[in-house]
Amino acid sequence: MSKDRGGLSGGQRQLHVKLKRARKHSASSQRWLERQLNDPYVAAARREGYRSRAAFKLKEMDDKYHFLKPRRRVVDLGAAPGGWSQIAAERVHSVSGKGQVIAIDILDMQRLAGVDVLLLDFMAPEAEDTLKALLRDGRADVVLSD
């Protein structure tokens, strides 16, 4: 067993999962899979319904700097799979229509409550006009990119 890596386990020790060497996985894939299975943030994201462990990174930054306030207009560039968009929607109250969150990515992304998802390359010539047309007052208060 490994020691608790702090933070999310509530003081309980976590078991370390070690995979048997699978022939169908490369060594680097095997290491990545073991990290995923043993990462407390991956488990917490699954438990709390977040799309990715990155949601906790944004929560921590916003808890410190308070940039995601109710009624803000947020643009999330390169948003897939949507972990940051989820946190932004919660914090700016976009589900109730007070704030606004627009997620932009070239990868398709499942819809999220309170988030407008644009399947678009934000470097494309038409991206700026498309975004401005969707943004209230044509401007953003916060731009996120991870």
In the chain, where the domains are located: 54-145
Burial zone of 4 (CB within 10 Å; 0-12 exposed, 13-18 middle, 19+ buried): middle
∠ Cα 53 95 97 (to 5°): 140
19, 30 Cβ separation under 8 angstroms: yes
Q: Helix 54-65 vs helix 40-48: angle between axes, to the nearest 10 degrees? A: 90
For residue 11, how many other CB atoms are within 10 A of its CB?
Answer: 6
The pLDDT of residue 46 is 80
What confidence score (pLDDT) does residue 49 get?
78
Fold of 54-145: Rossmann fold (3.40.50)
pLDDT of residue 30: 77
pLDDT at 3: 43
Cα 69-73-75 angle, rounded to 5 deg: 115
pLDDT of residue 4: 43
Q: Which residues sit opposite 74 in a β-bridge? A: 101, 142
Per-residue pLDDT of the chain (146 residues; tens, 9 = 90+): 444 444 454 555 455 655 555 567 787 887 777 776 767 667 777 888 787 888 989 999 999 999 999 999 999 999 999 999 999 999 999 999 999 999 999 999 999 999 999 999 999 999 999 999 999 999 999 999 98
Q: The dihedral of CA 102, 103, 104, 108: what is its sign? A: negative
pLDDT of residue 17: 56
At 35 the pLDDT is: 73
